[in-house]
Amino acid sequence: MNIIPQIVANSLIAGSIYALIALGFNLVYGATRFVNMVPGALAAIGGYTVFFLFNRLGLNIYFSVIAGVVVAGFFGYLSDRLVFRKLRSHKASNLVSFVASLGIFTMLQALISILFTSQFQSVLSVTENPKTYQILGATFTWVQGLIFITSIAAFVSLALILKKTSFGKAVRAVSDDEEVSKIIGINTNRLISWIFFIGSCLIGLSGIFIGFDIGINPTMGLFIILEGATASIIGGIGNVYGGFLGAFLLGFVENFGILKIPGEWKPAIAFGLLILFLIFKPEGIMNKKK
Amino acid sequence: MSKTVKIVIWLVVIVIVIAIGASLSKKGSNPDTGTGPIKIGFIGPLTGDTAGIGENVRAAVEVARDEINAAGGVNKRQVEVIFEDGQCDPKAAANAGNKLVSVDKVVAIIGGLCSSETLAVAPIAEQAKVPLISDASTNPKITDAGDYIFRFVPSDLFQGKFDAEYIMNTMKKSKVGILYCLSDWCTGIKDVFKQNFASSGTVVDEEGYQQDARDLRSQITKIKAAKPDVIYFLGYSEASIVGLKQLQELGVKTPIFGGDAWDDVKIAEGAGKAANGAMFSVTASSKYPQSFIDAMTVKKADKELNNYSGRGYDILKVLADIIGRVGVDSTKIKDELYKVKDYQGIGDTYTLDAKGDLATANYSVKKFQDSKIVLVQ
């Protein structure tokens, strides 16, 4: 049996999830320039919102997903409005902002544990066999297909927004230099809040998809930030296109890495790749050397 | 500085040194004052991996505690159990163990549940001379973990052998693919299984995964390609739910066999139909008395009680019995534990050997069926 097509499919599934995370992570990083832990907790919030609305209250699944995305986005916006905007006005260092984000991350995670217990929960009903599709000998479920299509769609629309709209231009300007953007009349605070909202929506969506595909628990966020940051660094931190590429590269290396050696090496390979990039190409694939 | 001041300072220093020395030499001796409640520690996963089983055992220990206290306690003293979360993780368990030993000064510790917890707490308990009695840790290394380390569950030397023989002789399969987590429990039982299986079968593929990994697809893809006629899948509840689903998604039709950590109704509910037919071995337990089941329902435990809850209950009952006879001296408690013979508990009948392990073991095979766990045979 040829397992290559299946490994390709596995890589694409993993890569799509990482891509959504990296898109959100990089968008926020580009505007604020510090490693923000909050998105990790927002992924869990997205997943749990859907779990609550769909599994507990039995509401429509599409409505639940949209609500989950918006709630995650709203919490992201709130974190900026209440905390990070204040820190920016104090000109707080990146370390301070990072520690603040770690605090919010831990607080939100604890809040979820209190509300929903820390148990692992499955979001989609498992009483029916999942519908699977076959392409060239690779098997995947409809959820996994949906994840792939959504991540591509999210990437394309984000790229179009950044390229074509004045909003996108402003975002790029802020990413380049916040001070100068302010001088030329961009309301940077409002813009950054919007970036937080959009980035958090993407991360929330990734959390929801992880819930559908695997399941949710309150501490899922740390893994999400780790994978998102790894993909972003490989692709080029703060660079939305780079993060997307890095995510798929990470997915492929992780899954193809264990093609010939036992599976326990998977994380060692993923983080080995990260270290190689940090040593030899710290700016990542897409960023130019400074 | 005047002479008197110097003398005073020196006196103070000497007193401090003596005080420190005295408190150090006291370490290991029994700090219990003979009044107030008798403190017993508990370590098990209350959050994180396999917390479902941990919560269940916690409820069982509470039931035992309430029964003992309702009957007047031990030597007219109440029993207090201090529950600590080991998170199925060596670091968290070691912290919990240190706290129980040095802050709470417990007389004995029930736990840990996961083998990595017990192995991490064992040196701490051994050094402080506090008996540590595990309800569920089956890793073979625990046998030699120390004089004060006991368990009321058989070593995987029994289970790995039983599983290998069951797969070879009852299921009549000879080509196994192993999917296992990188934890003390998984790797311990895997090694014993392999030794026993090698006699008349072959291991066609062996794939590990991190205990907290949730994407086992590529490992499963490789195992599937190696064409085993049975898959031996070792994992804790969370990774097992995900793994069983992914096995089904990837179209694996091979029979699946797992270890005793699968005796968790959370897996049956979480994996649903994806788990149908997957079998696992578990230490044979007597049917729980109705009074225990009722008391557990009050504690809001799972409807289906796992194999370890009865063991946790029995450990506290045995400890209460021993403390009632010899008092709270931990060395005496330890000596009495070695003498446990044919103790008829609600979970099993226990006889401890010279290493603090159960001398014998019986297993039964269960399987998942439509979100429930049922006995095979």
DSSP-derived pairing of the beta strands B79-85 and B38-44: parallel
Domain annotation covers residue B130 = yes
Whether residue B191 sits in one domain with residue B237: yes
Contacts of A119 in chain B (CB under 8 A): 51-52, 266
> How far apart are the C-alpha atoms of A62 and B255, rounded to whole Å?
36
Contacts of B241 in chain A (CB under 8 A): 120, 122, 215
DSSP assigned state of B143: G
> How far apart are the C-alpha atoms of A192 and A188, rounded to whole Å?
6
Whether residue B258 sits in one domain with residue B183: yes
- Provide the pLDDT for residue B302: 66
Mutate to test the interface with B, among A6, A55, A226, A269 (most CBs of B within 10 A): A6
Per the structure, the complete domain to which residue B117 belongs is given by 38-155+286-360
Whether residue B370 sits in one domain with residue B243: yes
Whether residue B256 sits in one domain with residue B140: no
Cβ pair B218:A217 closer than 8 A: no
| pLDDT beyond 80 at A128 | no
Q: How would residue B28 be classed by pLDDT, with cut points 50, 70 and 90?
A: very low
Whether residue B223 sits in one domain with residue B369: yes
Sorted by sequence, the CB contacts under 8 Å of residue B13 that are 6+ apart come out as: none
Q: How would residue A290 be classed by pLDDT, with cut points 50, 70 and 90?
A: low
| pLDDT beyond 70 at A129 | no
Mean pLDDT confidence for A164-169: 90
- Provide the pLDDT for residue A136: 84
CATH assignment, A4-280: 1.10.3470
Every domain of chain A and the residues it spans: 4-280
Give the sign of the dihedral formed by CA B216, CA B218, CA B223, CA B227: positive
| pLDDT beyond 70 at B320 | yes
- Provide the pLDDT for residue B288: 86
Question: Based on the structure, what is the number of domains in chain B?
Answer: 2
* CA dihedral of residues A246, A252, A255, A261 (deg, nearest 10): -100
Whether residue B246 sits in one domain with residue B369: yes
Per mean pLDDT, which range of A162-176, B4-18, B342-356 is the poorest?
B4-18
Whether residue B129 sits in one domain with residue B63: yes
Whether residue B125 sits in one domain with residue B65: yes
pLDDT averaged over every residue in chain A: 89
Whether residue B90 sits in one domain with residue B172: no
List the Cα angle A249/A205/A107 in 5-degree steps: 105
Q: Angle between the A188-213 and A166-176 helix axes, to the nearest 10 degrees?
A: 100
Among chain B, residues having any CB pair with chain A shorter than 8 Å are 47-48, 51-52, 182, 206-210, 212-219, 221-222, 224-225, 227, 237-238, 241-242, 245, 248-251, 266, 270-274, 371
- Provide the pLDDT for residue A157: 93
Whether residue B302 sits in one domain with residue B226: no
Q: Higher-confidence residue: B28 or B227?
A: B227
Residue B231 · residue B247 · CB < 8 Å = yes
> How far apart are the C-alpha atoms of A115 and A113, rounded to whole Å?
6
| pLDDT beyond 80 at B263 | yes
> Chain centroid to CA A195: how far?
14
Q: Residue B40: how many CB atoms within 10 A of its CB?
A: 25
Query: pLDDT for A195-252, tens place per residue?
Result: 999 999 999 999 999 998 888 988 888 888 888 889 999 998 888 888 999 999 999 9
Domain annotation covers residue B19 = no
Contacts of B270 in chain A (CB under 8 A): 120-122, 126, 215
Q: How would residue B27 be classed by pLDDT, with cut points 50, 70 and 90?
A: very low
- Provide the pLDDT for residue A173: 87
Prediction ipTM score: 0.86
| pLDDT beyond 80 at B229 | yes
Whether residue B171 sits in one domain with residue B141: no
> Chain centroid to CA B298: how far?
23
Give the sign of the dihedral formed by CA B177, CA B183, CA B186, CA B191: positive
Whether residue B237 sits in one domain with residue B102: no
| pLDDT beyond 90 at B256 | yes
